[in-house]
Structure 1
Amino acid sequence: MPFRHPEEIGYGHVIERYVTRKVSDHPRYLELNSGRVLRPGWPHAERHARSVIDDATTITDAELNALLGYEWRSRLTAAWLIGVARRTSFRERIGDLLLASEVCYSGGAYCFALARFGTQADAEILTAYLDHYLPRTDLRYDQPAALGALLRLDAHLGTHHAARFTEPDALWDQWVAALVHLRDHPRYTPAEQRCWTDLQCDFANGWTLG
């Protein structure tokens, strides 16, 4: 997919309005990517949450499409806004971007959005991603985020899509073992990936109920 700056399609305002705006000492995209907003006691959490809810509710589909057509910061931010508001009309676009894996960092936000949507269709997208990328033991993309999201969906839907990936010596273990810097790392277990997705989604649930 070609990358187009939002200015080229008449939406030059969206970067400053949604991506680089500050409610703390860092721009929004950086706070979302760092996960700092999920940490207990972060002093800007309430203000950050309110700004995300407000923008997720009011941003137009055209503005979201403008963000999704640009680089990783705008795509990451758009995916978070889509996930918070559960804009399921973007399911296919999010799935295509996840499978394409064109840019860094944004894939985890796509997985968050799919986990928030919470349907069988979302589980199928995540399964297709893992089928394609877990055998690629030379690549560290968004396999952990995709597995965590799929495990959450399995628990929600009563399905077992992730089981064949997480059996002993199956694709997940093979992928982790092939990447020396991940091997024996306590964060790279299926349980930890599910925990991280739960933290993101449960926190977003709290935002939308606030």
Structure 2
Amino acid sequence: MRNHRHEPALNAAVETYVTPGRRYLKLNHTPFGSDQAENRNIGRTLAEDSVRITDEELELLFGYEWRAQLTASWLVAFARREAHRERIGELLLANERIYAGRGYCFALARFATEEHARLLVDYLRAFLPHTDRGEQDAAMGALTYLDGLLGTTHAAQFLGENGAWAPWLRERFPPQRADEWAALDHFHDVIAARCAFADECMKALPPER
């Protein structure tokens, strides 16, 4: 099994951006908690790192395991690092590592273009029929968020009596959490909250000199 400690450049990127304070765990359980001071600190360091990390370091993290990929996708999302848009789409559609896909969906929502909405559509067409694993809930949240921004109706094909969203929910969640529309609103709101949080944190950065 690959170990970042045996690769100096990768190890430096992981220890700088992924593991301090177990950042990757916080990113996997957002929105954050009720401690607003801690939330501000998390957001400030994410914003700072999103502009500090190099493209080479991001590529190293994207080529590693889910913790590194999740963190890299958040950093790309915060600063909208457009050089990595294609890479994120490839990784989402490959669907190789659980949890990392939540970060990819967040990043695609942050890019906020029709192209990225269509990547989410492609992912959902491929993976909503499968209930073994994946980030279909995050993808639906991101797609409905983009539909609202772009004035599109891409998510409609997955909804309603003949859509794949409701059967997927019933397989993955207990009955009290499997309401098609309530769940959709929830996952939309998670993505919307993350995008608003990123905007707020990036605006708080001091201007470049």
When normalised by structure 2's length, the TM-score is 0.89
Question: In structure 1, what is the equivalent of residue 35 of structure 2?
Answer: 41
Aligned-pair CA distance for 1:208: 1.0
Partner Cα distance (2:186, 2:103) in 1: 17
1:168 and 1:209, CA in 2 relative to 1: closer, same or farther beyond 3 A?
Answer: farther
- Structure 1 residue 152 corresponds to structure 2 residue 151: no
Moved more, 191-200 or 165-174: 165-174
Partner Cα distance (1:106, 1:39) in 2: 21
Partner Cα distance (1:150, 1:6) in 2: 37
Aligned-pair CA distance for 1:178: 3.1
Matched position secondary structure for 1:11: helix
Partner Cα distance (2:104, 2:71) in 1: 10
Partner Cα distance (1:156, 1:9) in 2: 42
Structure 2: stretches of 5+ with no match in the other structure? 205-209
1:191 and 1:168, CA in 2 relative to 1: closer, same or farther beyond 3 A?
Answer: farther
Partner Cα distance (1:122, 1:183) in 2: 31
* Aligned partner of 1:202 among 185, 196, 203: 196
Task: Return the letter of the residue paired with 2:158.
Answer: F
Aligned-pair CA distance for 1:3: 6.5
- 4+ residue stretches of structure 1 with deviation over 2 A? 2-12, 38-43, 181-184
Contact kept in structure 1, 2:47 and 2:198, CA below 8 Å: no
Contact kept in structure 2, 1:68 and 1:78, CA below 8 Å: yes
Question: In structure 1, what is the equivalent of residue 17 of structure 2?
Answer: 18
Per-residue CA deviation, residues 108-139 of structure 1 (Å, 9 max, x unaligned), is: 00000000000011001000000000111x32
- Structure 1 residue 82 corresponds to structure 2 residue 81: no
The 5 Å alignment of 1:55-94 reads 55-94=49-88
Partner Cα distance (1:9, 1:125) in 2: 34
Whichever structure has more helix as a proportion of its residues is: 2
Structure 1: stretches of 5+ with no match in the other structure? none
- Structure 1 residue 165 corresponds to structure 2 residue 158: yes
Which has the higher relative contact order, 1 or 2, with Cα contacts under 8 A spaced 6 or more apart?
Answer: 2
Partner Cα distance (2:189, 2:9) in 1: 40
Moved more, 94-103 or 64-73: 94-103
The 5 Å alignment of 1:108-187 reads 108-136=102-130, 138-179=131-172, 181-185=173-177
1:66 and 1:182, CA in 2 relative to 1: closer, same or farther beyond 3 A?
Answer: same
The percentage of counterpart residues that share the same residue type is 40
When normalised by structure 1's length, the TM-score is 0.88
